[in-house]
């Protein structure tokens, strides 16, 4: 039985991860951490997730959470990444990271940590979203040189980063496929007299409201026709189950930085 630890267990994703680990026949929740000041400290993780008592108390982040653990899953905040990686390296524990909104320095930390431990890092752990990324890559290969490309994403009112990590992952994948630089080609919103749209632009539109779990559409617009590739998530459990799938895949892998494309073997298609 794979022993799994969850970092950031009291958040919306953390609670779904507890449930997903509990539901999976091949995983068992070993530890679950919250911030030291959290009022959930010492509560039962199962009670927090709404699945009943599972005899795993919520603890503060520390080396003891990694003891005898096979793999960690981290859905905390960017400012916790450095500490989480340091503890994972110190304890030689593989880690699945779903934290979004990372800056260049934090992405560099991931690259360095991956020389010491195996890591899966993805902007989105949904199987469907990763298929959307693959399909967008294929569409870019066929239409990207002439089509106008726009990425539209919608999330709940509580999301703190924009565009979403998934939208940026889609943009980066498309740009890489076309040999472009997203930093120079991306446009994040338009207002006023913008002039005609340069074809090489990759546009982003962000919508925030209500309790939308996550919608993403990639638009390839030609003169006379368009392709719209859309994924809509109706439950965070799809992300949680994908992260658990990644954890099971990662547990016996050599050191390195992997993605959900590796987990799902989509790079082979």
Residue tagged active-site, from 30, 39, 116, 155: 155
- CA neighbours within 13 Å on the CB side: how many for 179? 2
The yes-or-no answer on residue 159 being catalytic is: yes
Of the listed 116, 158, 159, 231, which one is catalytic?
159
Residue with tokens 């990763």: 130
Strand partners, 152: 205, 217
Rounded distance between C-alpha atoms, residue 194 and residue 191, angstroms: 7
Alpha-carbon distance of 101 to 134, in angstroms, equals: 22
> By C-alpha distance, which of 49, 88, 99 is closest to 65?
88
CA distances from 157 to 205, 208, 228 (A): 15, 5, 25
Instruction: Report which DSSP code applies to 57.
Output: B
Question: CB within 8 A of 190, min separation 6: which ones?
Answer: 203
Place of tokens 């632009």: 201
Reading the block at residue 88, the tokens are 């994972």
Look up 231 and say whether it is catalytic. no
Helix (H) or strand (E) holding 118: strand 118-121
Provide CB contacts within 8 A for 147, sequence distance 6+: 220, 221, 222, 226, 227
The Cα–Cα gap between 14 and 32 comes to 9
Catalytic residues: 155, 159
């Amino acid at each position: 039985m794979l022993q799994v630890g969850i970092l950031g267990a009291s958040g919306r994703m953390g609670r779904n991860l507890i449930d997903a680990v509990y539901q999976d026949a091949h995983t068992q929740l070993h530890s679950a951490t919250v911030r030291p000041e959290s009022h959930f400290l010492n509560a039962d993780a199962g009670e927090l997730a709404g699945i009943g008592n599972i005899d795993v108390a919520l603890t503060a982040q520390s080396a003891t959470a990694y003891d005898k653990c096979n793999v960690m899953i981290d859905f905390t905040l960017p400012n916790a990444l450095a500490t989480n990686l340091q503890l994972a390296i110190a304890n030689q524990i593989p880690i699945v990271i779903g934290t979004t909104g990372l800056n260049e320095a934090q992405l560099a930390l991931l690259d360095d940590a991956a020389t010491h431990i195996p890591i899966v890092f993805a902007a989105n752990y949904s199987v469907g979203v990763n298929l959307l990324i693959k399909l967008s890559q294929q569409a870019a290969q066929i239409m990207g040189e002439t089509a106008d490309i726009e990425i539209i994403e919608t999330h709940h009112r509580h999301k703190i980063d924009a565009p979403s990590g998934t939208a940026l992952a889609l943009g980066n994948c498309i740009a890489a496929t076309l040999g472009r630089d997203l930093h120079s080609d991306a446009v994040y919103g338009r207002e006023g007299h913008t002039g005609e749209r340069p074809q090489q632009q990759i546009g982003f539109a962000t919508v925030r409201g209500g309790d939308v779990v996550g919608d993403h559409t990639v638009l390839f617009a030609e003169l006379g026709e368009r392709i719209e590739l859309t994924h809509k998530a109706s439950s965070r459990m799809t992300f949680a189950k994908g992260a658990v799938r990644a954890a099971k895949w990662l547990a016996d892998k050599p050191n390195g930085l992997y993605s959900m494309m590796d987990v799902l073997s989509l790079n082979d298609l």
